[in-house]
């Protein structure tokens, strides 16, 4: 049965591939991105051309996750045409990388605005209709970086750890409304995320004052990521993440896991299993199991 799917961040990567995969299997897809008539006009046109050539039920909508009015307008357009969506995939994101101290507060705020507040804007725009329909699925694209920590990813970690907590609480609040919330936690994948990672402006030159041993270690880590992403045998094909989106969409409501790591996860999926039991024990201790759902 055809579903209505809304996806953010469809100009590249997981979002673009997911939009096409869902549409090609017969779903109604609203592929959203910012700058549809600006910086991403060519990418929007490519998606629309594919939809026309293949006769897909795929529309491209303007949605800047950093603009509340933009998120609300996109939701209004979706609701007017198709009613409450069956699935909302919060995929839009950015990854700031560099010495944590070197980022000024405005840069940290910008990182959080996209990866956390942006998700909240989209959820607020669609949730009233989804709750009224007593059904739906929200997939928030987190990262293994939301479950572990390494040097120079502190700003990004802050956003993804925050998204993890936000999503878990939202899941519990919505369980009695028939709306599932799931976190997908990709490892490193061959997308444009790495190539577009903002570095700190660092006008004061703080990063340069760090020891040479630190700099050398970070260069080694960067080389490791380059090796992994260039290895054709490594699990870094974005299709793996889209496969998981499809799998989660087709699962029975209420049975979906809270978290699912995918790709090169550095052991995060093993970490998630005992964490599920711990989460359940906390809810039980607070006598909240009647309204919350662990699932999976």
Mapped onto helix, strand or coil, the DSSP state of residue 17 is helix
Q: What is the rounded end-to-end Cα distance, in angstroms, of the chain? A: 23
Note the helical H segments in the chain: 13-24, 41-54, 68-82, 105-112, 118-133, 154-174, 212-230, 239-250, 268-285
Q: Which residue has the tokens 């909508």?
A: 61
Residues designated as active site = 11, 142, 156, 160
Cα distances (Å, whole numbers) of residue 99 to 39, 154, 163: 29, 8, 21
Distance, CA of 290 to CA of 295 (rounded, Å): 13
CB-based contact 179:138 (threshold 8 Å): yes
Distance, CA of 63 to CA of 66 (rounded, Å): 9
CB-based contact 232:134 (threshold 8 Å): no
């Amino acid at each position: 049965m055809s579903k209505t799917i809304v996806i953010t961040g469809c100009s590249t990567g997981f979002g673009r591939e997911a939009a096409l995969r869902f549409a090609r299997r017969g779903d109604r897809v609203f592929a959203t991105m910012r700058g549809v008539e600006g910086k991403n006009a060519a990418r929007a046109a490519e998606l629309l051309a594919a939809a026309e050539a293949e006769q897909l039920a795929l529309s491209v909508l303007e949605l800047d996750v950093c603009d509340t009015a933009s998120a609300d307008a996109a939701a209004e357009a979706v609701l007017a045409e198709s009613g409450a969506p069956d699935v909302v995939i919060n995929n839009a994101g950015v990854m700031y990388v560099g010495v944590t101290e070197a980022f000024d507060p405005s840069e940290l705020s910008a990182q959080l605005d996209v990866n956390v507040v942006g998700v909240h804007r989209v959820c607020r725009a669609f949730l009233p209709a989804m709750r009224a329909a007593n059904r739906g699925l929200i997939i928030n694209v987190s990262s293994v970086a939301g479950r572990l920590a390494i040097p120079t990813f502190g700003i990004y970690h802050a956003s993804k750890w925050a998204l993890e907590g936000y999503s878990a609480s939202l899941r519990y609040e919505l369980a009695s409304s028939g709306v599932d919330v799931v976190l997908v936690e990709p490892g490193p994948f061959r997308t444009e995320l790495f190539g577009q990672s903002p570095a700190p402006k660092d006008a004061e030159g703080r990063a340069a004052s760090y020891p040479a041993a630190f700099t050398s270690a970070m260069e080694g880590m960067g080389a490791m990521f380059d090796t992994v992403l260039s290895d054709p045998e490594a699990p870094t094909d974005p299709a793996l993440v889209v496969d998981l989106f499809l799998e989660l969409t087709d699962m029975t409501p209420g049975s979906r896991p809270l978290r699912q790591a995918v790709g090169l996860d550095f052991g995060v999926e093993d970490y998630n299993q005992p964490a599920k039991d711990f989460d359940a024990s906390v809810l039980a201790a607070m006598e909240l199991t009647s309204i919350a759902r662990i699932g999976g």
